[in-house]
Structure 1
Amino acid sequence: MTTREEAINRAGRTLAEGIRRMQEGTPREAAERAYTPGGPGIDELEARIIRFRSTLTEGRAAA
């Protein structure tokens, strides 16, 4: 049986991998990789990725 700590660690690794992949390439390339039929369109995903990346940049500037 998976312990709570193991589940949290696994979720953290999955999240980190997703963020790493979202940071690779252009926002458009990341959106195309993230797209799944029935979900948000590529244009919407691209806009979300751009917004997400800008929050990371703003956070670094404030530090």
Structure 2
Amino acid sequence: MLATFLSTSYLFFCLTAPPSIIGNHETPENISVVEKNSVSLTCEASGIPLPSITWLKDGWPVSLSSS
């Protein structure tokens, strides 16, 4: 009797890509806003894993809430 053995191998790898800002690479200008008014800040970035973006004011993270 001939026996046939099957072997299965798995290969796992982690693909990464460094973070990159897409589009305008210039330093953003200073923005002044009257208190209680809103402002829109945009930034598009790519990378694997997808980078997180944090806006700072005077070295502190800007709250994303409406208050």
The alignment's TM-score, normalised by the length of structure 1, stands at 0.23
Specify which structure has the higher proportion of strand.
2
The alignment's TM-score, normalised by the length of structure 2, stands at 0.22
Specify which structure has the higher proportion of helix.
1
Q: Which has the higher contact order (CA 8 A, sep 6+)?
A: 2
Higher Rg: 2
